[in-house]
Amino acid sequence: MKLDELFASEVLLWRYVRALACLLLLQVVAPMAVCNLYHTVIAKGILNPVTVISNLLSSCILPTRLLHLVVPATCFVLLARVHIKSYTVSAWVPINRWEKWRRLLSLTVMIRSGLIMLACALLANFYTSLAHPDFPFLVIPCEPGDIMCYKRKSVIIFMGAYIGYRYAYRYFMANGNLVIPAPAHPRKLQLIKACLSLRSMREACDTHGASRLSFLSAICVYMVISIAVSLCNDGLWQDWLVIFDLTLMMMTLLATVLLAITLSLFSQVFHIFITEPIEVPVASVDDGNPEADGDSWRLCNALSSSGLLQLLAFYDLKSLASSDPRNFARRSQVFAISQPGGHPRNWLGIINPSLNLIRRFCERLRRHNCPADLPKVPLPSETMTASTDVNKNEVAKPPPVPLKERVTKFVLGLKRYPFFGYFLSDLPDATNRSIFAEALPVIWAVQALGDLVAASFTEDKYGVVQKNIPDVLMAFTQLQKVVDSLSRVTIARRAGTGESVPTELQLRKALRSAVRSALYIITTTFGTTVLEMQVSSECQGKLRSYLEFKEG
């Protein structure tokens, strides 16, 4: 079994199950119990504990009440399924305006957004019927001639679908599906309590469309649609005025607020469970031939993977390399050598994927911003040998043009027209933003290597790290040079967007700080010895400025 499949089946699957069980307990079972207690103790004045407990049990066992448990549970399963299939570990940055519209109109996004809207509509109806007995549940039909019952259901379902639409748009188009491990992980209960604070609830209402302005605008849209449908069916549009009922408006507003808080709590609880740190063993039990199984559960293989597993592996590496005394036993395995043979397999299994990741990231930035500094690659026409005829005379036959290249040329030709150029022209900072959106594992790799190199000064008794310190220093200085060469105009916050600082800009700033901190840690630990290492003259000049504390 491959390492990604092993991680998905052994780790992620149980995290999904625990997150879903926690959400069902918090958002289905707990509200049903609270409402049952209210109707039993406060409304009816029954204080007998046996009667209260029996009513609580009957609310989950009786067939009429079982629907109140099955339908919301199904809704949360749908939401969890969409979150499982749609989360990402790097922010999505559209290269041009057409890419944004293509993502918005894609079949996958539309189907998953429809599932979210359906689940939110059912949940809104569930919470409303649970809180007030005059608002019947969706699966319970209205009595004949009860127009108000139908109107109430339609208003609640529309508002739930509207909140679901706002949530789905933010989730798919505004990086709401981005999962990032938190810097510190206290107990899950403390994180969940923080999600239920008053400030978090207010932010959830403003984000997911449950504020007063959004509520009024949604009601107005609903009225316009309802009147238009009524006029098309030759009905009386005055029948829809019955929804302007104080009780209905209050319950609708309360349902939208509860649904917004529910969605926010659902997303944050899913994030808490999915990004829980993992501890990957540095060395396997049978370390005689580590190259025999490239998919074994080891740190070196996890660092070479992709997606969430790679992100959590680099977070584990950063924690391992820190100066926390609790990590001393694991950190000592990094500086160990194999017996027999004396090979530094553990250290090489860490430094090779880390440096490869840093160099690939640096190469992507150089390729986009400094193409003149890259080595010239000969064209295929210059390297291919020309075909010959029977007289061994060269016959020039142009190679066939691939279909992808034809499409690319056609698109480039359309950019000359203003209308198509507006949608197809690349945004000036989109490529750099998309590169820096994937900088989080690079930041943790830089921090981990800097701490491990500094710790080797006192803990590396075999000297396994000393051979690779020049490679680490040159990779760090080259990365700093490329990142610092980007001007502030190249990647900056767009004016007039009204958004907070984007994730990619925060990661760029964190990357610059991480590289400088790592180089300062190494130079202050080793002192002037770093100038005697076999590095380039440019790297030596940069290290000398660090020794003189001139780098800010």
Residue 69: enclosing H or E segment and its boundaries? helix 63-86
pLDDT of 359? 93
Among 319, 303, 322, 8, which residue's Cα sits nearest to residue 181? 319
Could you give the 3-state DSSP secondary structure of residue 496? coil
Average pLDDT of the segment spanning 62-77: 73
Mean pLDDT of the region 371-389? 51
Strands 387-388 vs 394-395: parallel, antiparallel or unpaired: antiparallel
SS3 of residue 495 by DSSP: coil
Token digits of residue 363 = 């190469």
pLDDT at 188 over 70: no
Q: Facing residues of 388 across strands?
A: 394
Token match 């949608």: residue?
423
Reduce the DSSP state of residue 388 to 3 states and report it. Answer: strand
pLDDT in tens, 8-46: 888 888 888 888 888 888 877 777 777 767 666 665 666
Q: Please give the share of the chain, as a percent, with pLDDT higher than 90.
A: 16
The residue-averaged pLDDT of 62-82 equals 77
Q: What percent of the chain has pLDDT over 70?
A: 70
Nearest by Cα to 275 from 116, 88, 454, 423: 88
Dihedral angle sign, alpha carbons of residues 89, 90, 94, 95? negative
- Please answer whether residues 453 and 472 qualify as being in contact, where contact means their C-beta atoms are separated by less than 8 angstroms: yes
Which residue has tokens 């849209």? 221
Residue with tokens 């660092």: 303
Tens-digit pLDDT profile for residues 476-516: 999 999 988 875 545 555 544 445 678 888 899 999 999 99
Long-range contacts at 285-292 (CB < 8 A, ≥ 24 apart) = 287/338, 287/345, 290/345, 290/349
Work out the mean pLDDT of the chain and round it to a whole number.
Answer: 78
Q: For residue 226, what are its two tokens?
A: 């309802």
CA 138 from chain center: how many Å?
A: 34
- What pLDDT sits at residue 379? 45
When pLDDT is cut at 50, 70 and 90, the band that residue 266 belongs to is confident
Residue partners of 79: CB distance under 8 A and separation at least 6: 115, 116, 119, 266
Q: How confident is the model at residue 450 (pLDDT cuts 50, 70, 90)?
A: very high
Structure confidence at residue 471 as a pLDDT band (50, 70, 90): very high
The H or E element spanning position 295 is: none
pLDDT in tens, 140-156: 667 666 667 777 778 88
Task: State the amino acid at position 31 in one-letter form.
Answer: P
| pLDDT given for residue 252 in this prediction | 77
So what's the pLDDT on residue 452?
A: 92
The alpha carbon of residue 281 and the mean position of all alpha carbons in its chain are separated, in whole angstroms, by 25
